[in-house]
Amino acid sequence: MNNEISIGLLGLGTVGSGVARILNQHQQDLHHKLGVQVSIKKVLIKDEHKERLSILDRNVFTTDVYEILNDPSIDIIVEVMGGIEEAKQSIESALLAGKQVVTANKDVMAEHGHELLKLADRERCDLFYEASVAGGIPIIRTLEDGLASDRISSLMGIVNGTTNFILTKMKQENMSYEKALAQATEFGYAEADPSSDVDGLDAARKMVILSSLAFSTEVHLEDVLVRGMKEIQDGDLELANSFGYTMKMVGTSKKDEEGIEVSVEPIFLANSHLLASVNNEFNAVYIYGDTVGETMLYGPGAGSLPTATSVVSDIIAACRNLLLEVNGKRVHAAQHKRVIKPANCCYAKYFHRLLVKDEVGMLTKLTSIYSKHNASLQSVMQHPIKNEGMAEVILLTHQISRQQHLDVIENLEGIASIISHYRIEGEESA
């Protein structure tokens, strides 16, 4: 191992091919940084008969994962196969075999990351997962190392390029949701089944990873409030713009003395906020620290080479630890007890768009419902519509709890039809 570090690559898809390409093309740079050669010894593939445009010798291919996991000469396992159960089992087996592991698998880390990190601690191995969130943005390393001396109070992130691309096209080119989604699929930003993206599950998994790391606690997927972008209605983006907001699908995580709140949902984001200018397939994470203040990381959130770059950065980190014989020295155990805030302790401003009967006294009835639930209103506006006998009412609240927000919209039955509702974020006074 003094002259060469060997890698077992599990998967040769989009990301795996990128990893192989970078390792092959950057051999001189890697040798300069590490002083040893880093080479791929074995690659797990699904179909040995498939024709592949690969820079790798076909002799390194295998369909037997245990040929890689049980090879004592392989030092680092790089898991880029995707999926959950098979990938989890492979990571576990690699750690139990004393190998260092690098993964780009957000699904595994969101669902099983806490137990896998505990296993890595127990086996004195490294488990790196930079590429599991935000592709080529070094957000994991920033939270673990760059901001290690700070206390993170909150973070907001556009961590799904598919939904950000769709919303950008809907706003800037006045595309319908269906047409924007079709273009995202055509460009390769959306899968054939985009439900994980547009329903918010993909972003929720990433927020679990970021929140657990930022707050040194265990955040689980069921802790995340998730609303998909299918609830966005015609006219909502235009209304957002008219009030000085931009519609974004945002993951938000906040921590105070009462606990943690994590959500993924379409929100009205103030145009003055930096995240409002993040467009197309790009990702960004905005971090609030007690001492550093506010900082933002921005870059490509997916793609072969951006994601592979993060994977290779983790490989380099694992190699350095191997050479220094300090693998597994970083403790991943949570520092704080898991406390998730209830809805009555989560505060924000809200936008409510209602369809009501156009009759005398209707606004009085509406405001009395808000007053009953102590939901203070900042403004109330009526918009004319073509539907005879009906009116559209826009209400902006002051800071209220999520529970007050839910209580209000659940008690409007018979008074109004709820067209849409969104949380408002990013205002300086908020």
CATH number at residue 382: 3.30.70.260
277 and 156 co-located in one domain: yes
Query: What count of residues does the chain have?
Result: 430
164 and 295 co-located in one domain: yes
pLDDT of residue 430: 39
The model's confidence at residue 2, banded by pLDDT at 50, 70 and 90, is low
pLDDT digits (tens, 9 = 90+) for 186-241: 988 888 899 999 999 999 999 999 999 999 999 999 999 999 999 999 999 999 99
Q: Establish if 334 belongs to a structural domain.
A: no
Q: Are 224 and 262 in contact (CB under 8 A)?
A: yes
57 and 159 co-located in one domain: no
How many whole angstroms separate alpha carbon 239 and alpha carbon 234? 10
User: If you average pLDDT over residues 357-366, what whole number do you get?
Assistant: 87
How many whole angstroms separate alpha carbon 112 and alpha carbon 132? 13
From the candidates 106, 206, 248, 254, give the one annotated as an active-site residue: 206
Q: How far is CA 260 from CA 80, 139, 169, 345, in A?
A: 31, 20, 33, 10
155 and 284 co-located in one domain: yes
User: If you average pLDDT over residues 393-413, what whole number do you get?
Assistant: 94
- pTM, two decimal places: 0.93
Q: Establish if 377 belongs to a structural domain.
A: yes
267 and 368 co-located in one domain: no
Structure token pair of residue 370? 């808000």
397 and 310 co-located in one domain: no
406 and 282 co-located in one domain: no
Q: Are 77 and 42 in contact (CB under 8 A)?
A: no
96 and 43 co-located in one domain: yes
Q: Are 428 and 294 in contact (CB under 8 A)?
A: no
Nearest to 9 by CA among 36, 42, 34: 42
244 and 348 co-located in one domain: no
Q: Establish if 88 belongs to a structural domain.
A: yes
126 and 183 co-located in one domain: no
How many whole angstroms separate alpha carbon 351 and alpha carbon 7? 52
How many whole angstroms separate alpha carbon 318 and alpha carbon 33? 13
**Angle subtended by helix axes 304-324 and 27-34, to nearest 10:** 30
Choosing from 245, 268, 300, the residue where a domain stops is 300
Q: Are 277 and 270 in contact (CB under 8 A)?
A: no
Q: Establish if 430 belongs to a structural domain.
A: no
Q: Are 220 and 143 in contact (CB under 8 A)?
A: no
Catalytic status, residue 206: yes
pLDDT digits (tens, 9 = 90+) for 251-309: 999 999 999 999 999 999 999 999 999 999 999 999 999 999 999 999 988 778 899 99
Output the 3-class SS for 314-349: HHHHHHHHHHHCCCCCCCCCCCCCCCECCHHHCEEE
- The whole domain housing 84 covers 4-135+304-324
In the chain, the number of structural domains is 3
